[in-house]
């Protein structure tokens, strides 16, 4: 039942992912959520986010951001990184994920999505057929509607971790 919301993988943060390994596997494009994925909610670009995006560009990735936020927030962040963006994406609807792939010239098989929320980021990526990586949220301070979703996410993540442990145990035997 909860598997609909499970990410394909998880990582401590967007900054701890082995992007070189994904590039070797044929991934050519990355779509990111912004808030609490690359920077704290509402924060501007940081040296760390700039370094990461430049590193990814150097590896040959197409990179863009997809956010449910309004254009001024998303545009300022994207402009600071010189990447494309889609705002008011209406995640988890797959429509804008698909539009992002068209903009980048990628396919679901060659695209990664990285975000910090199950019910918007991960679920939308899954609906679009994109490999999803759930990352830990950067900051605990969030808007009230997100705080409420996080409580529900904890239930799903409990079962995700339990299933992941079973799979790991089965692989080891």
pLDDT tens by residue, 107-145: 999 999 999 999 999 999 999 999 999 999 887 766 666
pTM summary value: 0.89
- Starting at the edge strand that comes first in sequence, how are the strands of the sheet with 111-115 ordered? 9-11, 131-135, 111-115, 29-32, 62-66, 84-86
Specify the DSSP element, H or E, that contains 169. helix 144-172
Check residue 128 and give left, alpha or beta (phi > 0: left; psi -120 to 50: alpha).
Answer: alpha
65 strand-pairing partners: 32, 85
Collect all residues with Cβ–Cβ distance below 8 Å to 11 and sequence separation of at least 6: 17, 133, 134, 135, 136
For domain 2-172, is the CATH number 3.30.70.980? no
Q: What is the DSSP string of 95-164?
A: HHHHHHHHHHT--GGGEEEEES-IIIIIHHHHHTT-EEEEE--S-S---HHHHHHHHHHHHHHHHHHHHH
Is the pLDDT at 4 greater than 90? The verdict is: no
C-beta separation of 160 from 2 below 8 A: yes
Each domain of the chain, given as residue ranges in start order, spans 2-172
Is the pLDDT at 165 greater than 70? The verdict is: yes
Instruction: Supply the angle between the helices 71-81 and 47-58 in degrees, to the nearest 10.
Output: 60
Question: For residue range 38-88, what is the model confidence (pLDDT) as tens digits?
Answer: 999 889 999 999 999 999 999 999 999 999 999 999 999 999 999 999 999
């Amino acid at each position: 039942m909860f598997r609909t919301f499970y990410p394909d993988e998880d990582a401590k943060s967007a900054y701890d992912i082995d992007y070189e390994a994904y590039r070797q596997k044929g991934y050519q494009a990355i779509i990111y959520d912004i808030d609490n994925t690359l920077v704290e909610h509402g924060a501007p670009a940081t040296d760390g986010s700039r370094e990461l995006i430049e590193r990814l560009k150097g590896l040959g990735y197409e990179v863009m951001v997809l956010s449910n936020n309004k254009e001024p927030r998303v545009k300022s962040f994207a402009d600071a990184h010189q990447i494309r963006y889609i705002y008011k994406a209406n995640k988890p609807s797959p429509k804008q994920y698909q539009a992002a792939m068209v903009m980048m010239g990628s396919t679901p098989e060659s695209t990664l999505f990285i975000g910090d929320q199950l019910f918007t980021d991960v679920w939308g990526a899954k609906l679009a057929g994109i490999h999803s990586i759930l990352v830990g949220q950067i900051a605990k301070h969030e808007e009230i509607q997100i705080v409420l979703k996080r409580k529900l996410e904890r239930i799903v993540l409990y079962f995700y971790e339990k299933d992941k442990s079973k799979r790991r145990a089965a692989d080891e035997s």
